[in-house]
Amino acid sequence: MEIQNEKDQMLWKMAKKRVGFKNHLFTYLAVNLFLWAMWYFTDWKHHDDGEREYSNVPWPLFSSLGWGFGLFWHFVGVYITGNKVDQVEKEYERLKNKKR
């Protein structure tokens, strides 16, 4: 019964981490959508002949890339390396089978 309770606690922690990542992803998308829209509607260069063009480097690119890098590592931590219980159980089983 105690093992089941431990596994339930581990699943609860994993679920909290995954929900945290999904909230992080939603916030990233919402804020970056707003920043890109703000850039699109306000960052025009006006020429004397009436032509409009964007500046060379869109400034939201820096926040999107920087924050996106952090979001990528959040994803890796939650979905790829986040299930350390399974990794420990696999190693335990490998060592246990090696002893026999």
List, for residues 67-94, the tens digit of each pLDDT value. Answer: 999 999 999 999 988 766 667 777 777 8
Range of the domain at 27: 16-99
How confident is the model at residue 91, as a pLDDT? 78
Asked, for residue 50, whether it belongs to a domain, the answer is yes
Instruction: Please check the confidence at residue 44 and state whether its pLDDT lies above 70.
Output: no
Asked, for residue 8, whether it belongs to a domain, the answer is no
Asked, for residue 3, whether it belongs to a domain, the answer is no
Total domains in the chain come to 1
Q: Which of 60, 71, 72 is nearest to 34 (CA)?
A: 60
Rounded to whole angstroms, how far apart are CA atoms 2 and 23?
32
Asked, for residue 48, whether it belongs to a domain, the answer is yes
Share of the chain above pLDDT 90, in %: 41
